[in-house]
C-alpha cells in the first residue's frame, strides 16, 4: 500500500480532500490498493459500475468502498468523517460530541454516533503482546463519593469498592505499547488472567504491593514498588528502575480526559473510551496523516445505533 497524500494539519487535510471523490479515491487506495475485493465473496470477480459502485459476479450484489465498514449507510460526507477522525485522534484528551457537532456542523446525536463508530475501530491498538519491562497497575474510573451531593452518595465505597466505580487494569511496555481493560474486580484470579493474556513470560513485571499480584512471580520476574512506604522509584539488580510511573501517567491522562472532556462515562461504554485513549497513546509516534491512514486501513467494524443504545 503506497499512500502519496500527506497532511499534518487540519487545513492541509481539507485541502487534500476538497470533495467526496478525492475521499473515495483515497479510501479505495488504502482498502484495496488497486485490487477490488468483494465483501460478499472474496474469491469472486468484480465488475466496476458507475457512481463508484462495483458488482460481485458470484452473488450479483452491488457494493462500494464503504460497504462493510464504519462508513456503511452513512449520510455524512467523507470529508466530514475525515475531519472528525483527525479531531478525535489528534486531541490528547479527546473531544466531546457537543464540540464535534459544532466543529463539523452536525447534530450532537450524530456526532455521538460518529465518535462511537470511530472508537469501535480503535480496538486494533488494544491487543498487543507485551515483552521486556512491563508495568502493570489497576485503577478505578468513576466520580469521587465526597464530591457528590449528600443525597446521591453511595455508602460503603471506601478503598477498592466497585459500587460506584469501575476497575480497570493497564499494562504498558516501557518505550512501547499499552493495553488496558475494564475488569469485574482486581482480585488475584482476574489480574493474573489479564497479565498472562497480554504479557509474554520472558518479560520483567513491575507492580505495586497490591495482593492481587501475589503469586505472579511463579511465571514472571516480578519487581514490587511499595507505595505505602512512600516509594515511587527504587533501584533493583543491575540498576533496574523499579516503578509504575509510566502506567500511572496514562491513568492520569485517561481520567483528566473523562472528567474534563466527557464529564461522565457509563460502565457500558467505558471500554470504548479506554480503547480510544489507548489508540492515541500507541500511535503517538506516528505522523498526523500516518495515524489517520492507519485507522482508515482498519475500518471494518460496523456499529449500529440500535446496538449502542440497547440495554
**pLDDT digit string (tens) for 42-78?**
999 999 999 999 999 999 999 999 999 999 999 999 9
The per-residue pLDDT for 283 is 96
Task: Describe the crossing of helices 78-90 and 97-104 by its angle, rounded to 10 degrees.
Answer: 140
The per-residue pLDDT for 3 is 57
Enumerate the domain spans of the chain. Answer: 10-91+117-125+285-303, 133-282
**pLDDT digit string (tens) for 196-219?**
999 999 999 999 999 999 999 999
The per-residue pLDDT for 159 is 55
**pLDDT digit string (tens) for 18-31?**
999 999 999 999 99
Cα 244–chain centre separation: 21
Q: List the CATH code of the domain at 133-282.
A: 3.30.420.10
With beta carbons less than 8 A apart as the criterion, state whether 166 and 266 touch.
no
Q: Round to whole Å and give the CA distance between 191 and 158.
A: 21
Give residue 310's pLDDT band: very low, low, confident or very high (50, 70, 90). confident
Closest of 194, 247, 201, 195 to residue 225, by C-alpha: 247
| Angle made by CA atoms 200, 127, 241, in degrees to the nearest 5 | 50
* Owner of C-alpha cell 452491488: 62
**pLDDT digit string (tens) for 108-138?**
999 999 999 999 999 999 999 999 999 999 9
pLDDT > 90 in the chain, percent: 78
The per-residue pLDDT for 264 is 86
The CB-based long-range contact list for 208-215 (8 Å cut-off, 24+ gap) reads 208/137, 208/244, 210/138, 210/186, 212/138, 212/186, 212/187, 212/188, 213/136, 213/188, 214/188, 215/188
Handedness of CA 156, 259, 87, 109 (dihedral sign): positive
**pLDDT digit string (tens) for 148-198?**
555 555 565 555 556 678 999 999 999 999 999 999 999 999 999 999 999
Task: Describe the crossing of helices 288-296 and 20-31 by its angle, rounded to 10 degrees.
Answer: 70
Pairing outcome for strands 204-207 and 221-224: parallel
Q: Round to whole Å and give the CA distance between 23 and 293.
A: 12
The per-residue pLDDT for 62 is 97
Q: Round to whole Å and give the CA distance between 64 and 55.
A: 9
Q: Supply 272's cell numbers.
A: 470504548
The per-residue pLDDT for 85 is 96
Amino acid at each position: 500500500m503506497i499512500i502519496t497524500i500527506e497532511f499534518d494539519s487540519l487545513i492541509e487535510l481539507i485541502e487534500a480532500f476538497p470533495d467526496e471523490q478525492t475521499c473515495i479515491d483515497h479510501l479505495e487506495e488504502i482498502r484495496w490498493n488497486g485490487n477490488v475485493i468483494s465483501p460478499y465473496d472474496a474469491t469472486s470477480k468484480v465488475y466496476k459500475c458507475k457512481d463508484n459502485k462495483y458488482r460481485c459476479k458470484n452473488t450479483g450484489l452491488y457494493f462500494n468502498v464503504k460497504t462493510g465498514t464504519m462508513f456503511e449507510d452513512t449520510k455524512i460526507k467523507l470529508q466530514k468523517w475525515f475531519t472528525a477522525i483527525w479531531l478525535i485522534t489528534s486531541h490528547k484528551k479527546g473531544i466531546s460530541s457537543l464540540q464535534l457537532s459544532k466543529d463539523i456542523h452536525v447534530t450532537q446525536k450524530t456526532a455521538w454516533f460518529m465518535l462511537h463508530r470511530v472508537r469501535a475501530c480503535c480496538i486494533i491498538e488494544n491487543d498487543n503482546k507485551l515483552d521486556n519491562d512491563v508495568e502493570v497497575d489497576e485503577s478505578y474510573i468513576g466520580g469521587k463519593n465526597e464530591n457528590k451531593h449528600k443525597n446521591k452518595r453511595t455508602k460503603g465505597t471506601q478503598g477498592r469498592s466497585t459500587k460506584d466505580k469501575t476497575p480497570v487494569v493497564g499494562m504498558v511496555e516501557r518505550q512501547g505499547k499499552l493495553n488496558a481493560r475494564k475488569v469485574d474486580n482486581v482480585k488475584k484470579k482476574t489480574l493474573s488472567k489479564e497479565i498472562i493474556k497480554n504479557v509474554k513470560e520472558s518479560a520483567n513485571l513491575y507492580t505495586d504491593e497490591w495482593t492481587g499480584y501475589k503469586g505472579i512471580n511463579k511465571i514472571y520476574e516480578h519487581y514490587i514498588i511499595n507505595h505505602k512506604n512512600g516509594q515511587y522509584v527504587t533501584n533493583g539488580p543491575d540498576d533496574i528502575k523499579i516503578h509504575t510511573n509510566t502506567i500511572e501517567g496514562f491513568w492520569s491522562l485517561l481520567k483528566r480526559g473523562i472528567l474534563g472532556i466527557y464529564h461522565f462515562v457509563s460502565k457500558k461504554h467505558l471500554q470504548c473510551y479506554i480503547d480510544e485513549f489507548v489508540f492515541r497513546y500507541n500511535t503517538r509516534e506516528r505522523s498526523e496523516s500516518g495515524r489517520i491512514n492507519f485507522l482508515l486501513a482498519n475500518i471494518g467494524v460496523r456499529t449500529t445505533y440500535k446496538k449502542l443504545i440497547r440495554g
